[in-house]
Amino acid sequence: MDRADSTLVGQVVNKAFEVFQGDKSDTQRWCPLCGGFEQTGFNQYSVSPWRIVACANCDFVYLANPVTYRDLEVDQAWEANTQRENQRRQRERPVLNRLSKGTRFRLKLGPSKPNRFRIIFKQGRVLDVGCGTGNSLPSSIVPFGIEISRHLAKKADESFRKIGGRCVQADAISGIRQFADRHFNGILLHSFLEHETNPLPLLVEAQRVLDEKGVVYVRVPNFSSVNRRVMGHNWCGFRYPDHVNYFTSDTLRRMARLSGFDMHLLNWGNLIFDDNIKVVLKKAR
């Protein structure tokens, strides 16, 4: 990382908690990639009171006014917002919503999450950030988790402790800072970075706690997908206010590089048609 990049990362990390330690959900947000403050509105994708914007400096797309970490513990916890989001989708797009529910069997095709991740995480200690109830990791590893929802964290902790791990109830950055350098052989960020208000500082911390040969698996919604362009504001990747970052492969690669990772795209062959970006991050050499 050159001096300019190092300075940029320092600025973003220092800004990370300047705004969002309070209780107001309407506070203006810095760009999570470059720290810039100039924005261009995406009114066609915004749903009141949630404002989706693009950074005028680096084009990163994000939610300008996410809820606070404190709200995410109970009132705006994922399991609570999921019910509200389902109601919104049923109200605003009933036909598409019924079609989606009627074809949910497609989500169960192929290997389960634990079997899928067994290829990536073969053994050792693995940290699942935003672990929910803790059912994503294969049985071959020692599971650790971070979960901000009090209800879900309690369930995950009970499960992980039976096999030598544990779950920390905290926001992602506060939680990951509780672990020592190079503590983990792998880190799972499956459908998480889109939820994290401060993704760059989190990746910097992930780089710190990962051992030299470890890997990070990341899956995020793909803002550049054809489906988003076709579906517009009805795209499945929009969730209010759960999703606070909207990545393209370019912006994800830039963020990975700034945090000290090389990014290896897994679904490059059909990326333009895929609603998700799937990558493995390895420490830059």
pLDDT of residue 76: 64
This prediction's pTM: 0.85
pLDDT tens-place string over residues 214-259 = 999 999 999 999 999 999 999 999 999 999 999 999 999 999 999 9
pLDDT of residue 24: 44
Distance, CA of 226 to CA of 181 (rounded, Å): 40
* pLDDT band, residue 106 (cuts 50/70/90): very low
The answer to whether the beta carbons of residues 34 and 57 sit under 8 Å apart is yes
pLDDT of residue 2: 67
Q: Going from the N-terminus, what domains does the chain have, and what CATH number goes with each?
A: 69-283 (3.40.50.150)
% of residues, the chain, pLDDT over 90: 68
Distance, CA of 221 to CA of 246 (rounded, Å): 7
- Collapsing DSSP to helix, strand or coil, 39 comes out as strand
For the beta carbon of residue 47, count every other beta carbon within 10 angstroms. 13
pLDDT of residue 245: 98
pLDDT of residue 20: 44
pLDDT of residue 107: 45
pLDDT of residue 105: 45
pLDDT of residue 22: 44
Residue type, 207: Q
pLDDT of residue 273: 95
Q: Residue 86 pLDDT > 80, yes or no? A: no
Cβ-proximal residues to 49 (8 Å cutoff; 6+ apart), any chain: 26, 65
pLDDT tens-place string over residues 143-186 = 999 999 999 999 999 999 999 999 999 999 999 999 999 999 99
pLDDT tens-place string over residues 74-83 = 666 656 666 6
pLDDT of residue 184: 98
Question: Which among 154, 171, 188, 150 has a CA at the least distance from the CA of 67?
Answer: 171
The answer to whether the beta carbons of residues 127 and 145 sit under 8 Å apart is yes
Q: What is the mean pLDDT of residues 184-200?
A: 96
Q: Residue 93 pLDDT > 60, yes or no? A: yes
Distance, CA of 248 to CA of 146 (rounded, Å): 25
pLDDT tens-place string over residues 54-68 = 999 999 999 999 988
Strand arrangement of the beta sheet that strand 184-190 belongs to: 166-169, 142-147, 125-129, 184-190, 210-221, 276-283, 261-265
pLDDT of residue 72: 78
pLDDT of residue 71: 79
DSSP secondary structure, 112-168, as one string: -HHHHHHTT--SSEEEEET-TTS-SS-TTSEEEEEES-HHHHHHHHHHHHTTT-EEE
Q: Residue 97 pLDDT > 80, yes or no? A: no
pLDDT of residue 267: 94
